[in-house]
Amino acid sequence: MGLESALGEGYLTTKLDALVGWARKNSLWPMPMGLSCCAIELMSAGDPRHDISRFGMEVMRFSPRQSDVMIVAGTVTYKMAHVVRKIYDQMAEPRWVIAMGACASSGGMFRSYSVVQGIDQFMPVDVFTAGCPPRPENLFHALIELQKKVQSQSVLDYRDKKEAIIVS
Amino acid sequence: MNKVLQQTVDALHEQYGDVVEQVYEFRDDVIVEIGRDAIVDVCRWLRDNEHCPFPLCEDVFGIDAWTRKNRFEVNYHFFSITCKQRIHLKVRVEEQDPVIPTITGIYPAADWYERETYDMYGITFSGHPDLRRAYMPEDFEYFPLRKDYPLMGIPGALPLPKRG
């Protein structure tokens, strides 16, 4: 086909956005921001039965500087919000955020003075995940939706202010 | 009330008859209401008495009764390991003067319980070695478990990072 046949074997043509997006989406390293019971489901997502490594995401990095996607798994209090934000700020761009479960998405059952009613009040969120806590399958649903989003984003403008995805 | 606790309560009446305000039972729990100035002496006696000593301070917490008189009460739970008995003390204080002597000198375990009670209700414990807030940020200006504090908090009382 066209240019590729002229170049000979070992070459293919594509868009840079498509290639980088493909590489990024298949090697998303999560920052496990486990704050309560959702973290238990996040752990079981890594077990052999569910096997998060099918998505290239098994490399949980406990250093924010080495991770791409922050999975906020659990109840975020006002006091903890500053810590979550500080860790998020330390992550290198491009970076994404999954709000895992009802608490991180909306405060969940903790409708009280001490719990932030949704982490989107103090940081950008790419995917909201329903469930209390969500099953590992639902977390994977969120990860697959995030992969689609990562694939569709441009290298030059990765955070193009698209609407957050809601997964249920 | 069983025999052992009855003897303890009788001895309390004998020793501190003028400060014991009320003794009653609720579902097998014995509650002794005492005046706030005697709390340290009564605790020391409970811990050290020979008949049935209570060396374990299980809990200290406040209640906002939301009454005109004696708005706040502080409850103490003590457990006797040798006699396997539990006794509850209760101290009531006024809204204008919510101060109680600390019992950390007798029960060091009460240290953080009293901090928590101070954090949530604003009841101060005079003589406490380190009466800081236990849960809320140090610059927080309210006492969130008081009945007049709204459930969802006061907007802006707890700052959030900027979304940016």
Question: Which residue in B137, B153, B161 is closest to A113 by CB distance?
Answer: B153
Residue A60's pLDDT is 86
* Banded model confidence at residue A13, pLDDT cuts 50, 70, 90: confident
* Banded model confidence at residue A162, pLDDT cuts 50, 70, 90: low
In a domain, A2, yes or no: no
Contacts of A81 in chain B (CB under 8 A): 160-161
DSSP-derived 3-state class of residue B64: strand
In a domain, A56, yes or no: yes
Question: What are the start-end ranges of the H helices in chain A?
Answer: 2-7, 16-25, 38-45, 78-90, 101-106, 136-152
In a domain, A1, yes or no: no
Residue B89's pLDDT is 94
Residue ranges making up the domain that contains A86: 28-156+163-167
In a domain, A22, yes or no: no
Contacts of A86 in chain B (CB under 8 A): 161
| List of domains in chain B | 3-126 (3.30.460.80)
Q: Are B160 and A121 inside 8 Å of each other by CB? A: yes
The average pLDDT across A58-86 equals: 91
Q: Which residue does chain A place closest to B159, by CA atoms?
A: A78
Q: How far is B159 from chain A (nearest CA, A)?
A: 7
Question: Which residue in B150, B151, B163 is closest to A122 by CB distance?
Answer: B163
Q: Which residue does chain A place closest to B140, by CA atoms?
A: A79
Residue A81's pLDDT is 93
Q: Among B36-40, B88-92, B159-163, where is mean pLDDT lowest? A: B159-163
Average pLDDT, chain B: 92
Contacts of B153 in chain A (CB under 8 A): 112-114
Burial B40-50 (b: 16+ CB within 10 A, else e): bebbebbbebe
pLDDT above 70: residue B57: yes
Alpha-carbon distance of B94 to B8, in angstroms, equals 28
Q: Are B161 and A114 inside 8 Å of each other by CB? A: no
In a domain, A6, yes or no: no
- DSSP-assigned beta bridge partners for residue B93: B72
pLDDT above 70: residue B159: yes
Counted residue by residue, chain B has a size of 164
Count other Cβ atoms within 10 Å, centred on residue A16: 10
Q: What is the pTM of this model?
A: 0.84
Q: How far is A83 from chain B (nearest CA, A)?
A: 9
Q: Of the candidates A62, A122, A134, which has an alpha carbon nearest to the alpha carbon of residue A97?
A: A122
In a domain, A79, yes or no: yes
Q: Report how many domains make up chain A.
A: 1
Q: Is A79 on the interface with B (CB under 8 A)?
A: yes
Q: What is the CATH number of the domain that holds A137?
A: 3.40.50.12280
Question: One-letter amino acid identity for B145?
Answer: L
Residue A1's pLDDT is 59
**DSSP assigned state of A163:** P
In a domain, A46, yes or no: yes
Q: Which residue does chain B place closest to A80, by CA atoms?
A: B160
**DSSP assigned state of A127:** E
Residue A3's pLDDT is 78
Residue A55's pLDDT is 82
Question: Which residue in B152, B159, B163 is closest to A113 by CB distance?
Answer: B152
Q: Give every strand in the sheet of B72-80, ordered side by side.
A: B20-26, B29-34, B85-93, B72-80, B56-64
The average pLDDT across B65-71 equals: 91
Cα angle at A53 between A48 and A57, to 5 degrees? 135
The average pLDDT across B119-127 equals: 94
Residue percentage of chain B with pLDDT more than 90 = 82
End-to-end CA distance of chain B: 62
In a domain, A139, yes or no: yes
pLDDT above 90: residue A76: yes
ipTM at complex level? 0.79
Q: Of the candidates B106, B104, B151, which has an alpha carbon nearest to the alpha carbon of residue B130?
A: B104
